[in-house]
């Protein structure tokens, strides 16, 4: 009986540690401007409001877990956004969440979610944590490569789950680059003995906001063991 009472008391302490849900019907206006560090606007970026719930963790404390998105909007041609959302009564906190990598890969973001602590008032969140990206088509000429398949890695381009190069035919890869930095393109493969190899190519900054092109030839001698 004593052990049961101890367990009940412990559970009551844990319950008291949980943050209560915010009441429903509270309206909050969230606004701001998204740019890169040079001040260029990030256009058509999706800004979402996420609802979180407070839950216990194993060490006896509590933390916020994502529950659902309750509203969203997009930045305009100046990188500006504004959205007014209403609390549902089902969440203990609300956060601004920026889409860091859109489908068109026009930019790459480095933003964490930001908690809105002044619910019911106006909340402003500006960010310069973005890199604007521009398309570059790389023609890869395969020079009798003996070990396939090959995966392609580029820092600011979405990585595909499966290897891309599976034959010795010419391959066209579109990557998304910053226009003012040297670019590195990495090719990786696994030898029959299980050892990883890679070949690395670099090319200069494009200094262009238009579609650019590069042409490389991939040889067996370019691969080195990792």
Helix, strand, coil share of the chain (percent; to 5): 10, 45, 45
Q: Which of 131, 158, 187 is where one domain is finished?
A: 131
C-alpha 218/C-alpha 196 separation (Å) is 17
Residue 89 shares a structural domain with residue 183: no
Largest CA distance in the chain: 78
What is the predicted pLDDT for the residue at 18?
65
- The secondary structure of residue 34, as a DSSP letter, is B
Query: pLDDT in tens for each of the 226 residues of the chain?
Result: 544 434 444 444 444 456 799 999 999 999 999 999 999 999 999 999 999 999 876 655 678 999 999 999 999 999 999 999 999 999 999 999 999 999 999 999 999 999 999 999 999 999 999 999 999 999 999 999 999 999 999 999 999 989 999 999 999 999 999 999 999 999 999 999 999 999 999 999 999 999 999 999 999 999 999 9
What residues make up the domain containing 156? 134-225
C-alpha–C-alpha distance, residues 216 and 201, integer Å: 8
Which tokens hold the place of 128? 């310069």
Asked whether residue 177 falls in the same domain as residue 202, the answer is yes
Q: What is the pLDDT of residue 131?
A: 96
The predicted structure's pLDDT at residue 74: 98
Let me know whether 23 and 127 are in one domain: yes
Whether residue 11 lies inside any domain: the answer is no
Q: 40 preceded by cis ω (within 30°)?
A: no
* Residue range 38-52, pLDDT digits in tens: 999 999 999 999 999
Q: What is the pLDDT of residue 127?
A: 98
In a domain, 5, yes or no: no
- 25 plus 119 within the same structural domain: yes
- Tell me the CATH number at 53: 2.60.40.10
Which residue in 96, 83, 159, 164 sits closest to 125, CA to CA? 96
Identify whether residues 39 and 117 lie together within a single domain.
Answer: yes
pLDDT exceeding 90 applies to what percent of the chain?
87
Specify the pLDDT at position 57: 66
Nearest to 188 by CA among 214, 162, 168: 162
Question: 171, 165 in Cβ contact below 8 A?
Answer: yes
Domains identified in the chain, total number:
2
Residue 64 half-sphere exposure, CB side, CA atoms within 13 Å? 17
215 near 179, Cβ under 8 Å? no
């Amino acid at each position: 009986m004593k052990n049961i009472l101890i367990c009940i008391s412990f559970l009551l302490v844990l319950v008291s540690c949980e943050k209560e849900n915010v009441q429903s019907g509270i309206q909050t206006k969230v606004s701001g401007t998204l740019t890169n560090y040079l001040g260029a606007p990030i256009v058509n970026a999706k800004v979402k409001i996420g609802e979180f719930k407070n839950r216990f963790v194993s060490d006896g404390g509590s933390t916020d877990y994502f529950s659902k998105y309750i509203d969203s909007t997009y930045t305009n041609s100046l990188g500006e956004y504004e959205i007014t959302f209403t609390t549902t009564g089902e969440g203990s906190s609300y956060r601004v969440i920026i889409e860091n990598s859109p489908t068109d890969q026009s930019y790459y973001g480095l933003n964490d979610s930001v908690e809105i602590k002044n619910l019911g008032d106006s909340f402003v969140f500006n960010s310069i944590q973005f890199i604007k990206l521009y398309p570059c088509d790389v023609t890869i000429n395969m020079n009798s490569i003996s070990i396939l398949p090959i995966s392609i890695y580029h820092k600011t381009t979405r990585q595909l789950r499966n290897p891309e190069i599976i034959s010795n035919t010419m391959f066209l890869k579109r990557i998304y680059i910053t226009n003012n930095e040297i670019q590195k393109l990495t090719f990786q493969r696994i030898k029959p003995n299980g050892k990883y190899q890679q070949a690395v190519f670099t090319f200069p900054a494009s200094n262009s906001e238009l579609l650019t092109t590069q042409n490389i030839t991939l040889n067996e001698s370019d691969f080195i063991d990792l």
